[in-house]
Amino acid sequence: MEPIDIHKILFSKVKQAMPPHVSPVDEIADLLNISNDSAYRRLRGEKQLDLTELQLLARHYHISLDALMNANSNTYVFSGSLIDGEKTGIKEYLQNMLFVVESALHQPDKRFFLEAKDILPLHHFLIPDLAAFKIFFWSKTMIQDENPGKRFKPEDIPVEMVQLAERISRTYVQIPATEIWNSQTLNTSLRQVDFLWQSGLMESKAQTLDIYERMVAMIDHLEAEVTAGEKFVPGSTPLGNPENFHLYHNEVFMGHNTILTVKHDQMQAFINHNVLNFMTTTDETFCRYTYRTFQNLMRKSSLISVTNERERSRFFNNLRSVIEIDKYKL
């Protein structure tokens, strides 16, 4: 492949990754720290990108250079940032998540596919106290905690982080999504509450019970969303778009927290590892394989959004029962 062809394909993928209202010239000029005229010349192919510029664009937009250059089809290049508590922390994790949902919001033909081993934070974040709880738990387990004995107080969590989490969920609410859950989907969140309680990091039994009640509120809201087939913010009403939220229940398969975003003709896969970290790739072969896997899982699962009221009620009642059982263990 000629170098100029690589540049054309790269810029095509970059434009696909941008929201429609963003000017490619302004965005590229700002990212590469060059003039708008220089950005125009690169976009038109009059000036080739140097290696540093290629790297900057590919890294910023999660584009595999190996895929552009027709590397071995059995090799898939992933990128991502690691939560280590020193260079990258919870705030950066939330900012990365916000970038993913906001970059998809204004794209045509967008849809998220999510295989949920645990109910994803995207749902917890709509309830401020659950958002604060998640952030506190991550700070105690995923990063070097400066106050290891400090107990959970929602008011101690930085307001900007809770607001950032809420902004993520309010954006996700607007994006059509298909999620696949199983009967164990709530277990991880319940184990997190139990861990903090057993470790003496909750203020009191009453506070712990309140977190359980917030989880019940989350489940109640999720059931309302699934019944309507549409995500919406608590306290508001659905807008009448039943294609916004498809939920499938798989009774057997124990999944992973895998996400595939589809935006027009571009796909991006996110593979979860070590609790919070995500590896991501836009490799066409890998993403199409992931898409086929989702389609296969959906065929082997029961659609419980809008239709199938009996199974939907049984599923959510079971989730509430699991919470009640854990409450009485305190």
Contact 115, 290 (CB under 8 A): no
Q: Cα–Cα distance between 104 and 101 in angstroms, integer? A: 5
Within-domain flag for 76: no
Q: Which residues pair with 179 in a beta bridge?
A: 114, 247
Q: What is the pLDDT of residue 4?
A: 46
Within-domain flag for 75: no
Name the domain count of the chain: 2
**Helix (H) or strand (E) run with residue 211 in it:** helix 205-228
79 phi/psi in degrees, rounded to 5? -130, 170
Burial class (CB in 10 A: 0-12, 13-18, 19+), 310: exposed
Q: Are strands 258-263 and 110-115 parallel, antiparallel or unpaired?
A: antiparallel
Q: What is the pLDDT of residue 20?
A: 72
| Of residues 329, 323, 325, the one with CA closest to residue 130 | 323
Question: Are residues 54 and 169 located together in one domain of the fold?
Answer: no
Question: Are residues 7 and 148 located together in one domain of the fold?
Answer: no
Contact 43, 255 (CB under 8 A): no
Within-domain flag for 72: no
Domain residues for the domain of 317 are 90-327
Question: Are residues 147 and 30 located together in one domain of the fold?
Answer: no
Q: What is the pLDDT of residue 143?
A: 75
Tens-digit pLDDT string for the chain (330 aa)? 444 467 777 887 787 777 777 888 898 989 899 998 988 888 888 888 888 888 888 888 877 666 666 555 567 777 777 776 554 588 888 998 999 899 888 888 899 999 988 888 999 999 999 999 999 999 888 776 777 789 999 999 999 999 999 999 999 999 999 999 988 889 989 999 999 999 999 999 999 999 999 999 999 999 999 999 999 999 999 888 888 999 999 987 766 788 999 987 789 999 887 767 788 888 888 999 999 999 999 999 999 999 999 999 999 999 999 999 999 888
